[in-house]
């Protein structure tokens, strides 16, 4: 009989470890921070048979815990507005002490703070709260609340949840490092593009505005995440070829003559040329090269038409033209936004892809 109990316990332990291994594989398979946090807590809720669960990250400057994910329950979004001081509640205790806490009955635990329950109308009975630690430093906490069916968690559940969250903490750290590097890349190209624009005071902020509106259009036409990331880079760098254009022409306070126009028109090809050695940008470079093509042909540098022109270029062409119209130029005042929208509409199907014009108009519907 005793051996039977032992065998049962050992088998249960094997099941638990196998769960941790499978979960850790799923958790470490993404470097995207926000989807990672969601995956972790979905997995934790399921594995732990919890009614709800949540993950909070520590805001070190303010010494507050901020909800990042709330799984289960209906009041998730409402709860996410709450910030907890590290001096309050069980979550605060765990963040301060860096140790897991198992509370079989929340009402009997004096550390328990019912601020969240009050707001959500939820009733916390039993909970496990564990620290998210990276290199012995607490970066947040994760908790599961109320065990389904059985009513309360067991001490065994604590070790399972801790093991899961151990892996999660490593994955979160990696995802943060990746996000940080992405941020560095994007802010550096933004700063450099802005500095280049500064040579022509009339185009200040142009690349950032073009990027923002292009992404809004991309959202309307259902571009994939990857395509949008490429479009973001192309938007920020679309005028980078202007580095190669003499300042006298870029900032000329009058209309350009034919020869000068010829030089200005080299900027999309020059931009593509500058970025050519960068393998990771091979899908971005054509978007930059073709951002002055026309939908019915006759644009530059290659006179492409219709679907031959990369989709991203067709978006930037339109937004680029719109931003130029509503900006002041040395030789003319800014056009009114309404008039510029009408002008875009007038060129639907000729200069611009009709599908992109529709998406553009949809972006301005709610203004």
Neighbouring CB atoms inside 10 A of 3's CB total 7
Site string for a copy of itself, 22-41 (x = CB under 8 A): --xx--xx-x----------
Select from 19-27, 84-92, 260-268, 290-298 the region that touches a copy of itself (CB under 8 A). 19-27
Check: CB of residue 88 under 8 Å from CB of residue 113: yes
Select from 67-75, 176-184, 290-298, 327-335 the region that touches a copy of itself (CB under 8 A). 176-184
The CA dihedral of 47, 53, 57, 62, to the nearest 10 degrees, is -160
Q: CA-CA distance, 87 to 213, in Å (whole number)? A: 43
Per the document, the length of the chain is 367
User: Quick one: which of 42, 85, 152, 194 contacts a copy of itself (CB under 8 A)?
Assistant: 194
Neighbouring CB atoms inside 10 A of 26's CB total 15
User: Quick one: which of 155, 222, 253, 277 contacts a copy of itself (CB under 8 A)?
Assistant: 277
Q: Could you tell me the smallest distance in angstroms from the CB atom of residue 200 to a copy of itself?
A: 12
CA distances from 65 to 92, 117, 125, 179, 231 (A): 8, 16, 21, 20, 35
User: Quick one: which of 142, 196, 318, 344 contacts a copy of itself (CB under 8 A)?
Assistant: 196
Q: CA-CA distance, 71 to 302, in Å (whole number)? A: 52
User: Quick one: which of 137, 177, 262, 336 contacts a copy of itself (CB under 8 A)?
Assistant: 177
Question: Which of residues 108 and 279 has its CB atom nearest to a copy of itself in the complex?
Answer: 279
Site string for a copy of itself, 246-265 (x = CB under 8 A): xx------------------
Residue 212 binding a copy of itself, by CB under 8 A: no
Question: Which of residues 178 and 364 has its CB atom nearest to a copy of itself in the complex?
Answer: 178
Question: Which of residues 147 and 242 has its CB atom nearest to a copy of itself in the complex?
Answer: 242
Check: CB of residue 53 under 8 Å from CB of residue 142: yes
Site for a copy of itself in 66-95 (CB under 8 A): none
Q: CA-CA distance, 325 to 273, in Å (whole number)? A: 27
Name the residues that contact a copy of itself, by CB under 8 A.
3, 6-7, 10-11, 13-14, 17-18, 20-21, 24-25, 28-29, 31, 163, 166-167, 170-171, 174, 177-178, 180-185, 187-189, 191-192, 194-196, 198-199, 240, 243-244, 246-247, 274-275, 277-281
């Amino acid at each position: 009989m005793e051996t039977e109990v032992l065998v049962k316990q050992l088998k249960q332990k094997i099941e638990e470890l196998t769960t941790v291994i499978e979960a850790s594989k799923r958790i470490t398979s993404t470097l995207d921070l926000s989807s990672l946090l969601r995956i972790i807590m979905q997995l934790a809720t399921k594995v732990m048979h919890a009614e709800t669960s949540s993950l909070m990250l520590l805001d070190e400057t303010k010494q507050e815990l901020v909800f990042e994910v709330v799984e289960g329950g209906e009041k998730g979004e409402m709860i996410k507005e709450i910030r907890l001081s590290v001096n309050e509640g069980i979550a605060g205790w765990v963040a301060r002490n860096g140790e897991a806490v198992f509370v079989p009955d929340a009402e009997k635990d004096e550390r328990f703070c019912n601020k969240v329950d009050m707001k959500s109308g939820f009733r916390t009975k039993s909970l496990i709260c564990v620290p998210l630690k990276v290199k012995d430093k607490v970066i947040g906490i994760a908790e599961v609340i109320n065990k389904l069916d059985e009513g309360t968690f067991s001490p065994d559940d604590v070790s399972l949840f801790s093991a899961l969250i151990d892996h999660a903490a490593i994955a979160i750290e990696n995802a943060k490092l990746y996000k940080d590097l992405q941020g560095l890349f994007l802010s550096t190209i933004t700063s450099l593009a802005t500095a280049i624009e500064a040579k022509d005071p009339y185009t200040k902020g142009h690349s950032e505005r073009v990027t923002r509106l292009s992404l809004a259009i991309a959202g309307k036409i259902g571009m994939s995440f990857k395509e949008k990331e490429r479009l973001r880079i192309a938007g920020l760098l679309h005028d980078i070829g202007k580095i190669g254009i003499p300042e006298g022409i870029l900032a000329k306070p009058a209309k350009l003559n034919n020869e000068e126009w010829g030089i200005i028109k080299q900027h999309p090809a020059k931009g593509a040329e500058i970025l050519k050695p960068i393998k990771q940008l091979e899908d971005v470079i054509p978007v930059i090269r073709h951002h002055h093509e026309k939908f019915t042909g006759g644009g530059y540098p290659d006179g492409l038409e219709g679907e031959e022109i990369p989709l991203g270029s067709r978006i930037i062409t339109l937004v680029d033209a719109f931003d130029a119209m509503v900006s002041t130029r040395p030789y003319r005042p800014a056009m009114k936004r309404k008039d510029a929208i009408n002008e875009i509409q007038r060129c639907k199907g000729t200069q611009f892809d009709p599908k992109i014009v529709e998406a553009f108009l949809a972006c301005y519907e709610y203004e």
